[in-house]
Amino acid sequence: MAEVIEQGVKMKGLKEPLFSKKNIQILRDPLDDNNPITVQVLGICSALAVTVQMKPALILSLGVIFVTSFSNLIISLMRKAIPTRVRIIVQLVVVAMLVTIVDLVLKGYMFDVSKKLSVFVGLIITNCIIMGRLEAFALGNKPWKSFLDGLGSGAGYGLILLVVAAFREIFGSGTIFGMQVVPQIFYDWGYTNNGLMMLPPSALFLIGGYIWWQRSRNTKLVDIS
Amino acid sequence: MHSNRYTFLFAIGLSVITAMVLVVISEGLKPLQEANVALDKKKNILQSVRIYETEREAVENAYDKSVEELVIDSEGEILTNEVVSNIEMKNEVAKTPAERKMPLYVYTKEDGKKCYIIPMQGVGLWGPIWGYISLESDFNTVYGAYFDHKTETPGLGAEISERFFQDRFTAKKIMDGQTFVSVNVIKSSAKVEYSDEHRVDAISGGTITSDGVDEMIDNCVKPYLTYFKKIAGASPQLSLKGN
């Protein structure tokens, strides 16, 4: 689809507005129709690991959004200069640099969060979504479009993380962003937090449930796989 | 296809540029990061005497007001020319007890009673674990404990950094009469010769980490006993000068 867009623009010979319909589409696609987690089934690992609470999930999502959008932008800017034989290594170097920046900034400004996320920040490097988008999109598209695609993919990832984290935090700890939302009276009546929600497998069930809900609503997805 | 020469130059150029970007950012953020690490340490020390402050100001205040730092050796002498912040625990625990320089934190409670906080360092399953254990002024009863880890498995070994595990140590005893038996981290069904006040339930599925904690307490607390005996025998008014 990407090539078609680029050719289409060339044929018209017109300068495309920054937020043309197609660009908005690039940004919106990964949120639903082409969601990296629920449709492409990438980046599941970190979605299981950091979704016990909303706060780390949000921070990690922001980290991934930053890395996907800027790595897409940088690679797209260099796409004609990158020697094809070393392109994967070049991509890795750029991604690793951006991830290290995220890690350093977190250590400097949000030490507690950085402690909680520990290895997962470093593991952004191996998040399949990032390399996937670089290979599939940034190498063949213009910088602005690539940037939007990265932004969208990161946001699509973040969306799932936050939905899963919201369920897990409410049912697992009775809180949202650390604030009590399940009233004390429920506990007095005998309600207890669900311990399963604190464990990684619950995220798998929730993502499964999300995919079910998404496919029952969006018929376009049903015959893809 | 690009030539080999171009490929090499491109790779070298890219590496140099990324390295420079990272050096600038890393150096720029270093002071902030070091301040965070120092604050975190103070926070953890306070957690071992069951003070759970999170705000920067509150931690600094509580620490400055009630914690004294000193360094001793295994003979029980206070090394007045050593500063706690210069001591790298990782290097010290690798030495034999006789050669160690051992930091000790003395916490004064609201009611004037003292707690002695011993820093600990050991190994878990995947990497280092560390912590602080505080003893009441009888040098026997555990007042509180704090553990942390670098890379233990979340949900298993990593549970040592959770309150529920650390709370198990409170009121345990390290001495049986005059002999040191430590607080042993062991599964509840295991049969052992010492009584319940010397044992703490280990974490299911985190056996190697639990064993690491067990060993760490044993290894790190024992060398302090000489000093404790010394000050227990001396006059109770003996003041402890920190650096």
- For the stretch B171-221, pLDDT in tens is 999 988 888 888 999 888 888 888 888 989 998 888 999 999 999 999 999
Structural domain total, chain A: 1
Domain contains A222:
no
Whether pTM > 0.80 for this model: the answer is no
User: How close B151 gets to chain A, by Cα (Å)?
Assistant: 8
Which long-range contacts does A100-106 make (Cβ < 8 Å, 24+ apart)? A100/B22, A101/B21, A101/B22, A101/B25, A102/A63, A102/A66, A102/A67, A104/B22, A104/B25, A104/B26, A104/B29, A104/B33, A105/B25, A105/B29, A106/A59, A106/A63
d(CA A124, CA A100): 10
Q: Which of A118, A120, A121, A196 best tests the B interface by mutation, with the highest count of B CBs <10 A?
A: A118
Q: Is the pLDDT of residue A220 over 90?
A: no
CB A104 to CB B2 under 8 A?
no
Domain contains A224:
no
User: Would you say B119 and B132 are in contact if contact means Cβ atoms under 8 Å apart?
Assistant: yes
Domain contains A182:
yes
Q: Which two tokens stand for residue B197?
A: 């006040």
Q: Where are the domains of chain B?
A: 67-233
What would the DSSP string read from start to end of B9-67?
A: HHHHHHHHHHHHHHHHHHHHHHHHHHHHHHHHHHHHHHHHTT----SHHHHHHHHHHHE
d(CA B4, CA A197): 53
Q: Looking at chain B, which runs of residues are DSSP E strands?
A: 67-72, 102-108, 114-123, 128-135, 142-149, 175-176, 179-180, 184-186, 199-201
User: How close B16 gets to chain A, by Cα (Å)?
Assistant: 11
- For the stretch A86-124, pLDDT in tens is 999 999 999 999 999 999 998 898 888 888 776 778 878
* pLDDT of amino acid B234: 67
* pLDDT of amino acid B241: 39
Mean residue pLDDT of chain A comes to 84
- For the stretch B105-116, pLDDT in tens is 999 988 888 899
Residue A8 pLDDT level (bands cut at 50, 70, 90):
very low
Residue B46 neighbours by CB distance under 10 Å = 25
- Do the interacting molecules here have an ipTM over 0.85? no
Domain containing A152 equals 42-208
- For the stretch B13-57, pLDDT in tens is 999 999 999 999 999 999 999 999 899 999 999 999 988 888 888
Domain contains A192:
yes
Lowest mean pLDDT among B16-20, B83-87, B114-118, B128-132: B83-87
